[in-house]
Structure 1
């Protein structure tokens, strides 16, 4: 039987999602807890991989288990057993063909920037006190939806078959002293959101123009884009699925 986990976490104290030798990761921590509770070796597969220091309001992962679970009871037991900075919000059974990564139809990320010094949030926002022109940044962000090849924002030497992504929405909003950039796409390249934000910041401070931003996309070369902003401000927020398909569980 296959189960989906809906997880949230503060990534500050972890070396990213994916298991690594001699490093504490989100995946390893969750696998260990599930394996202990079920008294069986459990492997989980996620919808994506977050880097060290990146957070998640919603990460989806799946695992297989031979027996039917008491979903409410096991969710409570697992959530109580996990460390304070990882929470499992929901567990539900899905069809065996459903896959946390390959069945996903979209992902939504946010990037949070504080416009003032915020000591209590220093691991959860990027503190950037220079003035940013949000109107110009939104004009540039709209351009992202017109293109598909984002090699300019991909980590150098990435081993991928394609740099194409279908960006459905990208915009900045201001919430008091916090600027929030949200971007939704069918897929993302490694380090892509942080590179996009770093380049949009260059638009916001007047270092480059909106036209320059589009030219950077067309050059398809990472060296022309802006810097990669810190991981602490990045949040994986939502992963969408065709619920009718994934919940089509055979009785």
Structure 2
């Protein structure tokens, strides 16, 4: 029987989401917890990967178990064993062929910047000492909606088969000394959001024009991207699925 588990985590202490040798990862800690609580070996599948130091205010994983679960009791037991920086929010019974990665039709990331030095935000927002030109960054961000090939914002190495993404939303908003960038798309390339943010910040600092930003996208040249923005400001904020996915298996609960 397949279940989707909605989780959130503070990525500060972890070398990203995905289990890897000789590294402390969110997936490793979560799978260990699930296996102990359910008394069954669990190997979860996440809706996507986050890099070292990146956070998730919403992430989904799926896993299989041989018997039905009491979803409320299971979440309670998960949270008793999970460390304070990972939380199990909700558990859903889903069809046995449901897949957290392949069934997601949109994902949203937020990138947070603080313009005021604050020791309590040092792991949760990128400190920028000078005010960037937000209007210019928003004009440049609109170019992301006009393109589909984002080779420019991809890492050189990886197993990516293609670099096409459909971006539905990309915009900056400012409230006081806090800036937040929201980007929503059907998929993202590994490291893409931080490269986009880093390059947009160069627009905001006057190092690139809006036209040069769009030219960089069109060039499909990785060397035209600026450096990646730091990990601590990035959050996987939302993963979206078809509305009926969580109701199809309701009769089995």
Aligned to 2:56: 56
Q: TM-score, normalised by structure 1?
A: 0.98
Matched, 1:224 2:221: no
After superposition, residues 167-246 of structure 1 pair within 5 angstroms as 167-246=167-246
State the alpha-carbon separation in 1 of the partners of residues 131 and 177 from structure 2. 11
Aligned to 1:68: 68
Aligned to 2:95: 95
- Report the alpha carbon displacement of residue 131 of structure 1 after superposing the two structures with TM: 2.1
State the alpha-carbon separation in 2 of the partners of residues 219 and 11 from structure 1. 33
Aligned to 2:104: 104
Q: TM-score, normalised by structure 2?
A: 0.97
State the alpha-carbon separation in 2 of the partners of residues 238 and 96 from structure 1. 23
Q: Kindly report structure 1 stretches of 4+ aligned residues shifted beyond 4 Å.
A: none
Deviation string for 1:68-103 (max 9, x for gaps)? 000001111101210000000000100111100000
C-alpha RMSD of the superposition: 1.0
Please list every run of 5 or more consecutive structure 2 residues that lacks an aligned counterpart in the other structure: none
SS at match of 2:170: strand
State the alpha-carbon separation in 2 of the partners of residues 158 and 207 from structure 1. 29
SS at match of 1:104: coil
Contact 2:4/2:100 (<8 A) preserved: yes
Aligned to 2:151: 151
State the alpha-carbon separation in 2 of the partners of residues 245 and 33 from structure 1. 26
Question: In terms of mean alpha carbon deviation, does 238-247 or 180-189 score higher?
Answer: 238-247
State the alpha-carbon separation in 1 of the partners of residues 114 and 64 from structure 2. 41
State the alpha-carbon separation in 2 of the partners of residues 175 and 153 from structure 1. 28
State the alpha-carbon separation in 1 of the partners of residues 160 and 7 from structure 2. 27
